[in-house]
Amino acid sequence: MRELVCAVDVGTGSARAGIFDRTGQLVARAERPIAMHRPLADHAEHDSEQIWQAVCEAVREARETAGVAPDTVAGISFDATCSLVVRGRAGEQVSVSVTGEPRWDTIVWLDHRALAEADECTATGHRVLDHVGGVPGSSCSFTPGALTPSAAAGAASARPTIRRRRPTRRDRGSQPDQARRRAASRRA
């Protein structure tokens, strides 16, 4: 009978794994560091491949330290910090770094390169801001570490390589669809 579970926590500086019994008692744990790249002030980047390697090593070591076979683990759970991983169409790493090194493909939550984009989003006052970043009702509804401004900053830094296709008739939809979209945008 499978009596154990594995819990993984991917943090800013390390990946941790624990093997727990049915009562929640920790049987064994392991931790592996995660490198952070800080090429400029307010920039914080990770290598997603290295994060996954750290997770795999921590899980393997925790299970081996517990002295249990893989088939005794009933399930695995993950918890991770909020980061933006950028991959190409073929799944390859795409750099978010000013250095251009492909391995730095992840914008970390504490990266603040997107201050201007966060301010721009906040300035809209859009009601969607009630559900993201910051504290509801505060003057700063959108934080620079939120994924939307970080994605905007990442896209801005990669603009020469981004290609947009022309909208097709299918994208534009039928006339009734267009009328619904116009009405919805007026309500927004």
Strand pairing category for 45-46 and 106-107? antiparallel
Question: How many domains are contained in the chain?
Answer: 2
Q: Are residues 16 and 64 in the same domain?
A: yes
Range of the domain at 122: 112-164
Query: Which is it for the CA torsion 104, 108, 112, 115, positive or negative?
Result: positive
* Per-residue pLDDT at 161 exceeds 90: no
pLDDT digits (tens, 9 = 90+) for 89-98: 999 999 999 9
Query: Which is it for the CA torsion 138, 140, 145, 151, positive or negative?
Result: positive
Q: Is 56 domain-assigned?
A: yes
pLDDT band at 125 (very low <50, low <70, confident <90, very high): confident
Question: Cβ atoms within 10 A of the Cβ of 125, count?
Answer: 8
In this prediction the pTM is: 0.69
Q: Are residues 158 and 116 in the same domain?
A: yes
How many helical (H) and strand (E) elements, i.e. helices and strands, does the chain have?
5, 7
**For the ranges 37-41, 56-60, 82-86, 174-178, which has the lowest average pLDDT?**
174-178
Residue position matching structure tokens 């049987």: 27
pLDDT digits (tens, 9 = 90+) for 5-64: 999 999 999 999 999 998 999 999 999 999 999 999 999 999 999 999 999 999 999 999
The CATH number covering residue 8 comes to: 3.30.420.40
Q: Are residues 67 and 10 in the same domain?
A: yes
Averaged pLDDT of the chain: 79
pLDDT of residue 68: 95
Task: Please give the residue that has the higher pLDDT: either 153 or 88.
Answer: 88
